[in-house]
Amino acid sequence: MAPVIHALEAARWAESRVVTTGQHGDLVDDPLAFFGVTPNVKLDAMRPGQGLAALTAALLPALDETLRAEQPDLVLAQGDTTTVLAAALACCFRRIPFGHVEAGLRTGDLTAPFPEEANRVVADQLATLYFAPTQRAAEQLRREGKTNHVYVTGNPVVDALLWTRDRVRDDEARREDRRRVLVTTHRRENIGDGLKGVVDAVRALAARGDVEVVLPVHPNPEVEAAVRGGLTGADAVTLTPPMSYPEMVRQLDRCHLVLTDSGGVQEEAPSLGKPVLVMREVTERVEGIEAGSAKLVGTNPSTIIAATNALLDDDDAYQAMANVNNPYGDGDAAARIAARCHAYLEDRPADSPRREPT
Can you give the pLDDT at residue 177? 55
Q: What is the pLDDT of residue 176?
A: 46
- What are the extents of the domains in the chain? 2-155+330-347, 173-322
> What's residue 98's pLDDT?
98
Are the CB atoms for 190 and 113 separated by under 8 Å? no
Query: Percent of the chain beyond pLDDT 70?
Result: 95
Collapsing DSSP to helix, strand or coil, 239 comes out as: strand
Catalytic residue (one of 6, 73, 116, 203): 116
Measured in whole angstroms, the distance separating CA 161 from the mean position of its chain's CA atoms is 11
Nearest to 337 by CA among 161, 156, 159, 123: 156
Q: How far apart are CA 73 and CA 16, in angstroms?
A: 10
Q: Which architecture characterizes domain 173-322 according to CATH?
A: 3-Layer(aba) Sandwich (3.40)
Of the residues 73, 102, 124, 212, only one is catalytic, namely 102
Give me the catalytic one of 80, 268, 284, 287. Answer: 80
pLDDT of residue 45: 84
Residues 6+ apart with CB under 8 A from 55: 23, 45, 46, 82
Query: Model confidence over 53-67: pLDDT tens digits?
Result: 999 999 999 999 999
* DSSP strand pairing (276-278 vs 294-296): parallel
Q: Is 267 a catalytic residue?
A: no
In angstroms, the CA 39 to CA 26 distance is 13
Q: Place 68 in a pLDDT band, splitting at 50, 70 and 90.
A: very high
Phi first, then psi, for residue 357 (nearest 5°) are: -60, 130
* Mean pLDDT across 1-23: 94
**pLDDT higher than 60, residue 227:** yes
Residue 264 pLDDT greater than 90, yes or no: no
| This prediction's pTM | 0.85
Rounded Cα distance between 241 and 299, Å, is 23
Active site residue 167: no
pLDDT at residue 233, as a whole number: 85
Q: What is the mean pLDDT of residues 120-131?
A: 98
Catalytic residue at 330? Answer: no
- Model confidence over 328-345: pLDDT tens digits? 999 999 999 999 999 999
Judged by DSSP in three states, 341 sits in helix
Identify the active-site residue in 188, 208, 254, 354.
188
Residue 186 annotated in active site: yes
Mean pLDDT of the 167-177 span? 64
Residue 175: its pLDDT value, please?
A: 47
| 173-322 matches 2-155+330-347 in CATH topology | yes
**342 among known catalytic residues:** no
- Which of 261-265, 294-298, 351-355 is predicted most confidently? 294-298
Q: Could you name the CATH architecture of 2-155+330-347?
A: 3-Layer(aba) Sandwich (3.40)
Which ranges in 127-273 belong to alpha helices (H)?
Answer: 135-143, 156-168, 193-206, 221-231, 245-254, 264-271
What is the model's pLDDT at position 172? 58
pLDDT at res. 173: 45
In 3-state terms the chain splits into helix, strand, coil percentages (rounded to 5) of 50, 15, 40
80 HSE (CA, 13 A, CB side) = 22
The helix/strand/coil state of 334 is helix
Average confidence (pLDDT) over 284-299: 94
CB hemisphere CA count around 197 (13 angstroms): 21
Q: What is the pLDDT of residue 88?
A: 98
102 belongs to the catalytic site: yes
Q: Are 278 and 296 in contact (CB under 8 A)?
A: yes
Q: Which of 106, 186, 203, 280 is catalytic?
A: 186
With contact defined as beta carbons under 8 Å apart, do 38 and 322 qualify?
no
Per-residue confidence band for 358, with pLDDT thresholds at 50, 70 and 90: low
Q: Check residue 306 and give its pLDDT.
A: 98
